[in-house]
Structure 1
């Protein structure tokens, strides 16, 4: 029972048999097009975002399964705001403004993959990502927003 695991980042709904997927999976003896179709089906909800995908190939039986991870928080923030990219100068230029409601939504999606124990802590991690994307939270800089979360200003979102 030899098992090979291939981990890659693909664009949601747009995986192809070309690199990086084809060269990694081709030698393992499974039908690449079936793998691509399954990946595209499972990642269509994340269209346009980079999505971590794990392809587990059972080489002796020539079977496979696909596990789809959750896109990075930065990609989810940009999707929620409809941004192509974040700010080129995150600390100087603001790319957008996100609501705490959307922060909590992203935190709930990512919570299992985070080190945070509570939703409030997970939300603070997402707010921290807003720094590098160049996005303000409820009109405040991310650092101010984190202080506001600590002060209990947004507690209604975490109950």
Structure 2
């Protein structure tokens, strides 16, 4: 019973039965329409976001399972900001603003895939992504907030979420 896993990144709820997915699936003689429908159903709550998906295929029986990962940090931040795409010039062109609560929320969602040991370090990592895509946080440069976190200015806010973080979000 040989198994094969195909790893792809798709736009949530908007997978089309064409290249590059269709040729890959046809190698395993799968019903492409059925696979696409299952992926779209499984990713519908992430509409418009980039989502990693694994398709596990039993090459003997042609049975398959879809497992959906967590959207990219960039996709989650863009959704929180109501922006469509990252800034092409994040140093000069800002595309939106998010709250510190939004940043913490993204850090909690991304916990399973992050290597950070603490909520504080995860939040600082998310702030780095926010800066790189042209977002402000609390109407400030995310780099300034990293300094403020190091100074302890957000310890009260972070402690509110610490229990969720320790439980695995």
Q: Which TM class, normalised by the smaller chain length? A: over 0.9
Deviates more, 1:105-114 or 1:131-140: 131-140
Give unpaired runs (5+ residues) of structure 2: 160-169
In the alignment, which residue of structure 2 is the partner of 1:148?
148
Contact 2:107–2:123 (8 Å) recurs in 1: yes
Structure 2 counterparts to residues 120-131 of structure 1, below 5 A: 120-131=120-131
Alignment partners' CA distance in 2, 1:103 and 1:157: 11
Distance 2:157 2:37 in 1: 38
Deviation, 1:23, is: 0.9
Q: Deviations over 1:6-40 (max 9, x none)?
A: 11111110112111211111111222222111111
Contact 2:82–2:96 (CA under 8 A) maintained in structure 1: no
Please tell me the root mean square deviation across aligned C-alpha atoms, in Å.
1.1
1:62 CA drift (Å): 1.0
Q: Distance in 2 between matches of 1:156 and 1:45?
A: 31
The Cα of 1:45 is off from its aligned counterpart by 0.7
2-structure distance, mates of 1:154, 1:27:
52
Instruction: Please give the TM-score of this superposition, normalised by the length of structure 2.
Output: 0.90
Q: Check if 1:52 corresponds to 2:52.
A: yes
SS of the equivalent of 1:35 reads helix
Q: Secondary structure at the match of 2:66?
A: strand
Shift of 1:157: 2.4
The number of residue pairs the alignment matches comes to: 159
Stretches of 4+ aligned residues off by more than 2 angstroms: none
Shift of residue 91, structure 1, vs aligned partner: 0.9
